[in-house]
Structure 1
């Protein structure tokens, strides 16, 4: 794992401060030896052919040392110095490696059924290009079609009931035969039956009201006759009483017999009783007339209330039936799975006519045409602390070995704020990597990148000096040595 840059620089400076004095000491010793050898010199210089005739021991002593060894030593020292300077100045990239795959940045569109069904037709294949709105898969609509028909019939019945009730209300007000307005979706037989039913109800109601009014008229006539009798009795009764009083006076004077007086008294009593009876009967007739008038008003009000209740219930039923019909039509439409966007069909999962699909089952995926490409990478948990949006990255496609085809530049666009569980990698952070190119050169041709290509993303998190790579293990061993657990 990368270490803090400040700590690494401190470690490097400490090591350089420790080794540079020693190197300067060895340099001074070598320089002093070289100066001493030059000062000693060799007063007797022999030619090479002269040295060859000397004895072997003298030949070895007189033969000067080969400059190759000394040159090799200086070359090695120079190379070591160059390597040391390069390791101190040179830097290497520290990368975080993440696995990923090429995906459309518009996200693929997954086609799913809303509810369970039976596959009726499969109209596309993998790799086929489709346009927006094109039919993809058809599910058997038999059941939902029956529901649509049932709800439509219920809606038509509710509308006919509304029109019938309204026609009866208008007919009652105008006292004429009702005319039921036509409903567009109703059959002729259904419309005709509704009209007949409305006429029958209206005539039945009118017949009932007419009968009640006829009875009322009879009672009114009886009341009028009774009132005439009462008036006649009220006019003749005073005369009958006066006649009785006259006979009573004559009886007292013995001018008339007693039975004649009793006849007049009896006539008066009968007339009074008849008057009382007619008055009582008149009151009964008045009560009956009022009751019959109430019955007529009740019949009219009841008929109107029945039609208003039927109208209200039918309107409520119509609202429910319209909602059901819309819902079932939506379900019927959803048995025809269509493309939400233009693109390419991938991952077709339905292959059997008559096969059963479940709700939300992924049947196929459409990759949009106008969607750019990006890398969907999984950053390991141990690297997430060093990865930031905006960092550069190199993308190596598994389909094109980078040693032969090279890499594709990229840039970190976004990183998830929460980790997700991966079955193989454990907790990882999804990240989106922008592609610097959507093609790669293979055998002299531009090959278009395709969604689903696996890749390895190397995200450049920082840079480290080369000497830090070399000295870090030593410092680690030094730090961990001679310690007890």
Structure 2
């Protein structure tokens, strides 16, 4: 193909392989200067590069082969699809916050941050002086109230109490009640002894009172009984005289009867007969008088006996009335004592409860480790610091010695693709993956509900909590073991499924197409 030169003349194409060149006819017949000029013109001409068919075909088929192989590899080769979930390492058991449930002053701190402790080991001791003083005071009060109640019960049941009233903290009213009850009870025993006529169970003081009461009551009874006795003696004497008078009357009457025939025959003088008659009349009058006296004495004796019986009855009635009055007073005193005993029992129960609380407070003075683990976040650093700032203020925390797990948060977008049992690659952010590698694990638990956003835990959206069990608790780098620690942040890849490379590209393509079709 002909092309124009720089001077406007037509030239023939010149190939680089020397088969043909484009020349100017004037340049072939010119001088050397002209030849030099002609060479410059030749190099100014355009050059067409031509390839051989072999190289073209090789490049073409190479491109086709590589493309075909790539498509086939993408169609059959599978790669792991993973869901990323950030989180941190936590002990399998919850971190225990150690709190002091009471206010106190720190006396001794036995641990430091990072110390490993066993369950039950003493961590902090508080000053127990105030609590021990309170406990001793409560025990003294309890002992006093119990002795007081024992004294009241002994008084109620009439038993001797071991406690001395002077040693008891009795109020004046209660002292008066117990004293009056003892006096009334002793008086009742005397009254009962007077009624029953027995004094075997009385003490000397009661015997003295019994004798005094007996003298007072027997003086009246004795007077009545003496009157009866005197009247009975008079009656006895009167009966003797009556018998003698009746005998004299009988004799004189017999003599008169014997003298009557003689007097009628004139055998004796009238004076003698008249005297005998007068003697019989006198004897009859004496017998009549004695009989009348006997009746009077019988009536008088009956009256005196009635007065005697009435005096005894009055004495017994008075004793019974006084017994009834004393028993009523005893009932009132016993009611007051029982009321006081009930109040003291309630007070004893309250004191025992307070003692139990005080003993518990003393036990709380010694703070022990609830679990085995490592101490961290120790708040109380110096002695003399108040041990408890409130129920929500822990003095320290203990990380359990249990194995660590990874607690991660899965987004709503990815939660549908994960399930327990999936394999997980766990990468600790503190140790670069390229140098330290990762730790294999297994997804063991997924929360049933999403957690709201939390800025403290760096959750900006609603996420589902999940737990990953680690296959190992350390990283091994160049033969050196590095233990994992609670609180380390991790990045995890949860292997959900295997997909072909081609499906990944088609998925990206479809998303682009969808984004184009849905845009306005």
Map of 1:43 onto structure 2: none
Instruction: Find 1:410's aligned residue among 441, 454, 468.
Output: 441
| Structure 2 counterpart of 1:149 | 136
Call closer, same or farther: CA 1:98–1:82 in 2, change over 3 Å: same
Compared CA separation, residues 408 and 64, structure 1 to 2 (3 A): closer
C-alpha change, 1:237 and 1:152, in structure 2 (3 Å) is same
1:437 aligns to what SS in structure 2?
coil
Q: Taking structure 1 as reference, are residues 288 and 66 closer, same or farther at Cα in structure 2, changes over 3 Å only?
A: same
Residue 169 of structure 1: how far off its partner (Å): 5.9
- Secondary structure of the equivalent of 1:423? coil
TM-score by length of 2: 0.64
Higher Cα Rg, which structure: 2
Q: Which residue of 1 aligns with 2:121?
A: 134
**Alignment correspondent of 1:109:** 96
CA–CA separation in structure 2 for the residues paired with 1:463 and 1:165? 89
The whole-number CA distance in structure 2 between the counterparts of 1:360 and 1:315 is: 37
Q: What is the aligned counterpart of 1:81 among 68, 72, 76? A: 68
- Which residue of the partner structure matches residue 225 of structure 1? 222
Deviation at 1:416, TM superposition (A): 1.9
Matched, 1:395 2:360: no
Q: Give the C-alpha shift of residue 455 in structure 1.
A: 0.7
- Cα distance, 1:140 vs. partner? 4.1
Give the structure 2 partner of residue 11 of structure 1. Answer: none
Residue 420 of structure 1: SS of its match in structure 2?
coil
Q: Who is 2:167 aligned against?
A: 193
Partner of residue 259, structure 2: none
Q: Does 1:461 align with 2:491?
A: no
Match of 2:321 in 1: 291
Matched residues in 1 for 2:165 and 2:431: separation?
74
Count of residues in Structure 1 that have an aligned counterpart in Structure 2: 412
* SS state at 1:155 partner: helix
- Is 2:358 the counterpart of 1:328? yes
Which residue number corresponds to residue 412 of structure 2? 381
Change (3 A) 1:163 1:114: same
Decide whether the 8 Å contact of 1:227 with 1:282 is kept in 2. Answer: no
Question: Residues 401 and 237 (structure 1 numbering): CA distance in 2 closer, same or farther, change over 3 Å?
Answer: farther
Structure 2: state its 5+ residue gaps.
1-15, 23-46, 191-209, 237-284, 286-294
User: How large is the Cα RMSD of the aligned pairs?
Assistant: 4.9
The question of 1:367 aligning with 2:354 is answered no
Task: Note the alpha carbon deviations across 1:81-110, whole angstroms, 9 max, x for none.
Answer: 111112111223232222211111122221
Q: Does 1:350 align with 2:350?
A: no
Show the counterpart of 1:54.
19
Distance 1:235 1:384, change over 3 A: farther
Could you tell me how far apart the structure 1 residues matched to 2:178 and 2:18 are? 157
**Counterpart pick for 2:108 among 121, 130, 143:** 121
Q: What is the aligned partner in structure 1 of residue 162 from structure 2?
A: 179
Pairwise CA distance, 1:168: 4.6
- 8 Å Cα contact 1:95/1:459 also seen in 2: yes
Once the two structures are TM-superposed, the CA of residue 141 in structure 1 deviates from its matched residue by: 3.8
Tell me: CA distance 1:373–1:287, structure 2 relative to 1, closer, same or farther (3 Å). same
Return the TM-score normalized by structure 1.
0.68
Q: What's the secondary structure of 2:462's corresponding residue? A: strand
User: Which residue is 2:510 aligned to?
Assistant: 475
Tell me, which stretches of 5 or more residues in structure 1 are unaligned? 1-50, 181-189, 240-254, 256-264
CA separation of 1:154 and 1:403: change in aligned 2, threshold 3 A:
same
* Residue in structure 1 matched with residue 28 of structure 2 by the alignment: none
Structure-2 change in CA distance of 1:70 and 1:232 (3 Å):
same
Q: Aligned-pair distance for 1:146?
A: 3.9
Offset of 1:129 from its aligned partner? Answer: 2.0
Distance 1:389 1:231, change over 3 A: farther
